[in-house]
A and B are shown apart, each in its own frame.
Chain A
Amino acid sequence: MANHTISVTVNGGKEYLDVPSNMTLLQMLREKLALTGTKNGCAAGECGACTVLVDGEPVNSCMMLAVEADGCEVTTVEGLAHRETLRVSENPKGLSALQEAFVEHNAVQCGFCTPGVLISAHALLERNPHPTDDEVREALVGNLCRCTGYLRIVEAVQAAAKAAPETGAGSLEGGAQ
């Protein structure tokens, strides 16, 4: 089986990696880069625990080959926080506004689905900064949570949306992009 040398930008940093054909993007993130925030759930594109952004759009990383990410920009849950533009004194943990909203609204129970939910919700607010509750639920259809019943997740996403200025979701990144 052939190996492929790929270059991929992960959370803003360029990586040059040697990946086998059958390695999924999820395996690459977790096993090659130790980015274990992204979870392996159903491995069938149903649960969304493995959701990451590829070139700004959410995808199931268990259903994409690492080699397919060659030349792409990948953002994981780790990449939502710790942006250089964060005003650290006001946000000591370095979380994004969306992540903070999940903490404040207790939108996390066991937490296994949370990284994927955050990525999907982040992408939603990027394309639709002020969604309705139905639009939030529709955007999260591919992220199964077995603990929260979703109510607090929807509340947290809406709180983050309301906190953002009318101009867009840029503030979710914690500052100007």
Chain B
Amino acid sequence: MHASMPGLSTFDYVKPASLSEASRFLVEHDGGARPFMGGTDLFVRMRDGFIRPQAVVDLKHLPGMRDILYDEQAGLTVGAAATMNQVARHPDVQAHYPLLAEAASSVASYQLRNRATLGGNLCNGSPAADSGPAVLVLGGRLVLYGPSGEREVPAAGFFLGPGQTAIRPGELMTAIRFPILPAGNAGRYLKLGRNKAGDLAIAGVAVFGFPDGQAASGYRFRIGLASVAPVPLRALAAEEVLAANPPGEESFALAAAKAMEAASPIDDVRASAAYRKAMVRNLTLRGLREVWERIRET
């Protein structure tokens, strides 16, 4: 340790020229090499002594990793190393996926969002990842490149536990893909922190709704939760309530109670489990009201 300036432990910085080179390096240095993009989680954990990699592998310069592309048929593709600010201010994201822009701009502070990346936020596997609920309710698919080529994993199957994801040894995330969204949709991410902005979530709730003739209620809502379970997750029982019952205070209250049941939070330095559960109910209710108001307007 440096006395005056908390430095980082000794490691080699590696900047691979291609995806295959990056993957090969990760395989050859299994466990000893850490991929990184913005480093906002990695360097903190290294300073705290949780991990001590022999090499850090910088992925953000690889081809396509910072691109954000929108196509009217294919939908949105966000390079895994696109920064939160890049995502939040991209015109196509703002126009077609405003919920994603809202989630990205809720992360930490402006200067941190210049480094923090959407892919990194997901790969870190934090239950509190602010992009998690939005990526879940928007039907995001995560593109992983590895020794056996490329595969796509739906966001719903990606988060396995705190710090654990579906990423296999030698794999790295290259992009996050979103389908074209149903017409007349609206979304909202409500994040409760200890401060109005800049903090990690005590609880985060994403609500996404749209008209759907297939649903008994005529509408479909999706609800994503952050920071209230071992992984970001969908509140599926709450969503079923809203597909079966017409939108309104009664069904919203029932759905909010179901969302609360879906949460299995812990007590920690930011809030108690009981408070978190109560806030899931309140944020879900508020989110449903706001989203419903906007669906009706369109």
Contacts and interface: CB of A to CB of B under 8 A. Distances in A.
B58 to A, nearest CB: 7
Contacts of A44: 44, 47
Given A45-B44, A59-B115, A141-B197, A1 B108 contact: no
Report, as a range, how many residues of chain B touch the other chain: 20 to 34
Nearest to B42: A63
Interface in A108-125: 120, 123-124
B18 interface: no
Interface stretch (B7-15, B174-182, B211-219, B262-270): B7-15
Interface of A is mostly: mixed
A127 to B, nearest CB: 9
Contacts of B8: 22, 24
A40 interface: yes
Interface in B180-195: 195
Contact of B198 (A58, A68, A141): A141
A143 to B, nearest CB: 8
Given A24-B8, A44-B47, A45-B44, A59 B111 contact: yes
Contacts of B9: 22
Interface string B36-54: 0011100110010000000
Nearest to A144: B198
B12 to A, nearest CB: 5
B111 A65 contact: no
B257 to A, nearest CB: 33
Contacts of A54: 114
A65 B5 contact: no
A27 B5 contact: yes
B6 interface: yes
A67 B13 contact: yes
Interface of B: 4-13, 38-40, 43-44, 47, 56, 58, 85, 108-112, 114-115, 195, 197-198
21 contacts: A2-B13, A4-B13, A21-B12, A21-B13, A22-B13, A24-B43, A26-B5, A30-B5, A40-B6, A43-B5, A43-B47, A57-B111, A60-B40, A63-B40, A64-B39, A67-B13, A123-B110, A138-B110, A142-B109, A142-B110, A142-B112
